[in-house]
Amino acid sequence: MELVWFYIAVFLAISDELHTRILWKTFMDFYIILASIIRETVHSNIQLWLIHEGLEALFHFIVLSFIFLSIEIGFLAALIHLIVDIYHQITGLEHGWLYHRALHFTIESFFFILILS
């Protein structure tokens, strides 16, 4: 049980890569149409971006809740991932893929070490 934090962080990283591959590579046309519909509904790019981040968090919630059979883990994983995403978007941090993954993995691991210890 001591390495549960590690497994959560690993599966959250895998979930994030799945989200990227499924929605941006496989269903890109659908995702663009959905974004257009949402954009017409909310009338603000900030609201559109927050909805996008919320939908991504929902995706992570579903995946991790299913993997760990725990709604709490799914919720906490989605929440910390959402906070990290919002933080590095607001601060304007633009780094490569590896830096992005390492940032998420480090913060999410630390978060779950604190929560589960």
Q: pLDDT tens, 57-93? A: 999 999 999 999 999 999 999 999 999 989 888 888 7
Q: State which residues form the domain around 104.
A: 4-116
Element (H, E) at 38: helix 28-42
Supply the DSSP string of 57-115, one letter for each residue.
Answer: HHHHHHHHHHHHT-HHHHHHHHHHHHHHHHHHHHTT----HHHHHHHHHHHHHHHHHHH
pTM for the predicted model, two decimal places: 0.88
pLDDT at 26: 81
Rounded Cα–Cα distance for residues 108 and 41 (Å): 33
Residue 10: closest CA among 110, 112, 105, 114: 105
- State the total domains in the chain: 1
